[in-house]
């Protein structure tokens, strides 16, 4: 084998100079020792590579506990590849001797279909490891937050505007491949941007890609995401769309069992239907397959934020942004977490980066900061530029009341009540709480307790409720999650 060539196996590519591993063209984070182990195994595919050889190459001076270090490096490599020692797909253990690479390898074949956006190296951070398992209660809380407008499981972090593509060698690069790639790129762009009508546009593009290739697993996963977002944005009824989420995700996984997006959407379906243990199991599979996936990292950020561990949540979300620098939702999530953690100026600076990706995004961070400081005229100047909809109604209901324009505030509140998003009740409660109408605020919080989660309660607009005895009960209900 040409020792200077890059090596491809399934969706993975190992690059020697500099040493790196990528999946579908997107670089994954992996320490140097596991990468070095992989290189030695790929240099002799199908052959036994002894432990002594690996130790001599990795630790020539033998100044560490090299047996334990080698075991740890192999475990980390297997976790990244989603491999298992008992039923190996890539790395076979030869007891007391060493390891053998049993996957099918070949030199990398360049394809001129679509430019690949390479994931940058992720800075070393200190939150709980991505492989840690959340409790069923925590997993059941992955829904869209009220004031936190971009919680990962609903908003869809990890869907970048550009999409990496790889065409198997057995399939020629022809007109249909180019057309399906174009459709997928457009679909991902519309799914990420989510202006009015974008989810419908994304659906049409995914369907166009599937008309060219019915076995395109990523298109099925994308459809699962679109159906999920349609529920969260109130565009389709929950009862009608949840089966669509399930069916599209299952179809994607039947074609590619390692597709993280599909695992996450299926976990969301299971959570939403009260199957919490199954949801956690599905989510853990996604973590094991690709712990540095932006969607996985964002969900971990949401889970730690639910527990009030803001420094860890922000650290996870920074890693998610680094993993998908073109993801609008990832950048917006980070701004929201900073805001909810009380780091207002940091949140403003982060939202400036959101506006670089999409200048049309309503600047809720600046508007909320002005409202909380009682600077309603300044807030109004920000909000007046936004398009009509629930987001504008929510902010104007707060602003007009502060300006003494109560009739206009009530009109906006009525518009907000008519919205059908999952977070609608919490946003109405925020308005009532800010107005000082505590009874009405609690009434709206209790309308659909299955749609609440602890992250919602970090909203500064709900602080007037914290001293009421009912507050602890509402939080407990949210922590319990949907029941079955």
Confidence bin at 35 (pLDDT 50/70/90): very high
Return the number of other C-beta atoms located less than 10 Å from residue 115's C-beta: 12
Cα 391 to Cα 212, 364, 370, distances in angstroms: 38, 9, 16
Which CATH superfamily hosts domain 136-326? Tetratricopeptide repeat domain (1.25.40.10)
Contacting residues for 44 by C-beta, under 8 A, at least 6 apart: 101
Q: CATH: 1.10.10.10, 3.30.300.30, 3.30.70.580, 3.40.50.10320. Which one for 7-107?
A: 1.10.10.10
Q: What pLDDT was estimated at residue 79? A: 86
pLDDT digits (tens, 9 = 90+) for 400-437: 999 999 999 999 999 999 877 767 888 999 999 999 99
Lowest mean per-residue pLDDT among 9-18, 110-119, 240-249, 466-475: 110-119
Task: Give the mean pLDDT of 293-302.
Answer: 88
Reply yes or no on domain 337-480 having CATH 1.25.40: yes
Length of the chain: 484
Exposure string over 243-267, b if 16+ CB within 10 A, otherwise e: ebbbebbbbbbebbebbbbbbbbbb
pLDDT digits (tens, 9 = 90+) for 139-191: 333 333 322 323 333 333 322 222 333 333 334 334 456 667 888 888 888 88
Q: What is the pTM of this model?
A: 0.60
Residues 331, 160: contact at Cβ < 8 Å?
no
What residue segments make up the domains of the chain, in order of their start? 7-107, 136-326, 337-480
Task: Give the mean pLDDT of 376-390.
Answer: 92
Distance in Å from the first CA to the final CA of the chain = 55
Secondary structure (DSSP) of 66-87: HHHHHHHHHHHHHHHHT--SSS
Q: What pLDDT was estimated at residue 455? A: 63
pLDDT digits (tens, 9 = 90+) for 211-229: 988 999 999 999 999 999 8
Q: What pLDDT was estimated at residue 141? A: 37
Residue 133 has pLDDT above 70, yes or no: no
Lowest mean per-residue pLDDT among 123-132, 192-201, 379-388, 408-417: 123-132
Residue 51 has pLDDT above 80, yes or no: yes
Spatial distance between the Cα atoms of 250 and 265, rounded to a whole number of angstroms: 9
Spatial distance between the Cα atoms of 330 and 25, rounded to a whole number of angstroms: 20
Residue % of the chain over a pLDDT of 90: 36
pLDDT digits (tens, 9 = 90+) for 239-262: 899 999 999 999 999 999 999 999
Cα 461 to Cα 39, 261, 398, 447, distances in angstroms: 54, 33, 10, 18
The domains spanning 136-326 and 337-480 adopt the same CATH topology: yes
Q: What pLDDT was estimated at residue 58? A: 85
Task: Give the mean pLDDT of 377-406.
Answer: 93
**Burial bucket for residue 414 (CB in 10 Å: 0-12, 13-18, 19+):** exposed
Contacting residues for 199 by C-beta, under 8 A, at least 6 apart: 190, 191, 226, 229, 230, 233, 235
């Amino acid at each position: 084998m040409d020792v200077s060539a890059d090596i491809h196996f399934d969706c993975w590519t190992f690059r020697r100079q500099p040493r790196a591993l990528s999946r579908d063209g997107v670089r994954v984070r992996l320490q140097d020792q596991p990468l070095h182990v992989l290189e030695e195994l790929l240099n002799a595919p199908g052959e036994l590579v002894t432990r002594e050889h690996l130790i001599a190459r990795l630790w020539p001076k033998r100044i560490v506990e090299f047996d334990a270090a080698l075991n740890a490096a192999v475990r980390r490599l297997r976790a990244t590849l989603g491999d298992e020692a008992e039923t190996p797909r890539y790395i076979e253990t030869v007891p007391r001797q060493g390891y053998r690479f049993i996957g099918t390898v070949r030199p990398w074949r360049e394809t001129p279909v679509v430019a690949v956006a390479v994931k940058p190296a992720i800075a070393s951070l200190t939150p709980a490891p991505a492989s840690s398992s959340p409790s069923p209660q925590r997993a059941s809380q992955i829904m869209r937050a009220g004031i936190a407008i971009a919680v990962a499981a609903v908003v869809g972090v990890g869907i970048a505007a550009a999409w990496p593509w790889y065409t198997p060698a057995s399939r020629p690069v022809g007109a249909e491949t180019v057309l399906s790639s174009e459709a997928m790129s457009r679909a991902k762009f519309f799914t990420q941007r989510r202006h009015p009508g974008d989810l419908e546009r994304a659906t049409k593009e995914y369907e166009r890609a599937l008309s060219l290739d019915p076995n395109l697993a990523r298109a099925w996963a994308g459809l699962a995401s679109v159906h999920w977002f349609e529920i969260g944005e109130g565009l389709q009824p929950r009862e009608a769309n949840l089966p669509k989420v399930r069916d599209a995700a299952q179809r994607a996984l039947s074609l590619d069992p390692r597709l993280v997006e599909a695992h996450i959407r299926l976990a969301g379906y299971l959570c939403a239907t009260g199957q919490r243990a199954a949801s956690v199991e599905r989510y853990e599979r996604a973590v094991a397959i690709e712990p540095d996936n932006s969607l996985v990292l964002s969900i971990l950020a949401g889970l730690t934020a639910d527990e009030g561990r803001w420094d860890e949540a922000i650290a996870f979300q920074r890693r998610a942004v680094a993993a998908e620098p073109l993801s609008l939702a990832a950048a917006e999530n980070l701004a929201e977490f900073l805001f909810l953690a009380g780091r207002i100026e940091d949140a403003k600076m982060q939202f400036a980066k959101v506006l670089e990706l999409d200048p049309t995004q309503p600047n809720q961070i600046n508007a909320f900061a002005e409202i909380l400081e009682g600077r309603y005229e300044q807030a109004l100047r920000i909000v007046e530029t936004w398009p009509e909809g629930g987001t504008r109604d929510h902010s104007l209901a707060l602003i007009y009341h502060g300006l003494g324009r109560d009739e206009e505030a009530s009109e906006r509140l009525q518009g907000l009540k008519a919205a059908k998003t999952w977070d609608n009740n919490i946003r109405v409660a925020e308005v009532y709480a800010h107005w000082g109408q505590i009874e009405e605020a609690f009434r709206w919080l209790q309308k659909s307790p299955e749609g609440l989660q602890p992250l919602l309660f970090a909203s500064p607009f709900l602080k007037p409720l914290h001293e009421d005895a009912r507050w602890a009960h509402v939080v407990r209900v949210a922590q319990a999650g949907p029941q079955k």
